Amino acid sequence: MGNDLPTRKSVHYLAVAPGRVNLLGEHVDYNQGIVLPAAIDHKIRVEAVPQGDRMVSLQALDLRESTTFHFDHLAEKKDLGGNPLPQWALYPAGVAQVLLSHGYRPEGIDATITSNVPIGSGLGSSAALEVAFATLWQGIGGWDMHPLERAQLCQQAENQYVGVNCGLMDQFACSCGVEGHALYFDVRSLEYHSIPLPANSVIIIADSRMGRSLARSAYNDRRVECEEAVKMLKTRMPHIQSLRDVTSAELHRHSNLLPELVFRRARHVLEEIERVLQALEYLNNEDAEGFGRLMLECHVSLRDLYDVSCPELDILVDIARKLPGCWGARLTGAGFGGCTVNLVAENKAEEFINHLKSGYHAATGRQAEVYLCRASQGAEVSIINL
């Protein structure tokens, strides 16, 4: 981020941060594994004017809500009138608090927020909101901050201020995305690099419109089950710290140590990490069909070993995999509703969307929301010339 961005009350800044989708590597981030997300071209936009004080005034135009808070009272999580901050405002407030705690000096702003990232569909809307504000304040302040550090600060905001125990993947993808590329991200070492997606492909996301009411409790259950697997395997493999340290061969060798349910959870995690590694080879060889097969294998594993699918997601995947131009399909995110992600040939995208929507409605009576996306650049800030 350059220091050439002037700080004047009359200057308008625009920060844009993308949503994200995880293409492969599901439920492995909390096992210190590797993931393969991509930023998408559905974005949150924050337009702001610096105010030279410690006051933040926000208008969420899509929600038709507004609020104002002061940096000196962030810990109270209340607006100037003493009312609790609305849920959406906790994200920028949390970012401000974390920035201040790390020695940065964010400036007061008057800002408006607009978004076409669907809320509550597992496409990283909260991470995009956090990253947009961190990028905005970075641009106003002219701070030299690496995109990965920015993502880590936003994760701290969500963990410590909002109170959601998320991993780093969402904020990382929103901050570090590369146009036309997926992102290989090692959650343990924080090593990452971009890798091109197949030429002439698009990402199509289908929202089942099934609420994810069980997702959070199931997510917590799966974390506990994975921790149980590590604890049991440690009796024979004392050096391991997480399932990342175990191979599939070792898991099968010591399967007698684990209850059948715990074994299935661990098996998904280990095989999913192996799928991500295999996916790198397919992408490097521009093998869209091979990559798509891994997506389908991932869905079967999430359905049969990890038990986080539901009939509606299975129907979306089953319809998609039979359509012309579809290389791969699977549920994405925590599961129990939410979205599927599909890798589709660009010249078949319109036909694919139409058939997926009509087939899903015929099978379930529900209307799926379907989004055509492309892998996008990560968060950016610019000055608007009015």
Phi, psi of 176 (to 5 degrees): -110, 10
How many whole angstroms separate alpha carbon 12 and alpha carbon 235?
A: 59
Residue 224, C-beta contacts closer than 8 angstroms, at least 6 positions apart: none
Question: Exposed/middle/buried for 319, CB within 10 Å: 0-12, 13-18, 19+?
Answer: buried
Contact assessment for residue 208 and residue 337, using Cβ atoms and an 8 Å cutoff:
yes
Is 170 annotated in the active site? Answer: yes
Question: Which two structure tokens, joined as six digits, stand for 337?
Answer: 């509703």
Kindly name the residue from 41, 72, 79, 170 that is annotated as catalytic: 170
Residue 71, classed as helix, strand or coil, is helix
Q: Which residue has the tokens 């492909």?
A: 201
How many whole angstroms separate alpha carbon 23 and alpha carbon 182?
A: 8
How many whole angstroms separate alpha carbon 109 and alpha carbon 11?
A: 11
Contact assessment for residue 7 and residue 140, using Cβ atoms and an 8 Å cutoff:
yes
Residue 282, C-beta contacts closer than 8 angstroms, at least 6 positions apart: 288, 290, 291, 294
Question: Exposed/middle/buried for 222, CB within 10 Å: 0-12, 13-18, 19+?
Answer: buried
Question: Which two structure tokens, joined as six digits, stand for 100?
Answer: 């201040």
Distance set, CA 168 to CA 37, 153, 161, 188 (Å): 11, 10, 15, 10
How many whole angstroms separate alpha carbon 373 and alpha carbon 203?
A: 5
Question: Which two structure tokens, joined as six digits, stand for 360?
Answer: 């899903």
How many whole angstroms separate alpha carbon 236 and alpha carbon 323?
A: 47
List, by residue number, the catalytic residues.
Answer: 170
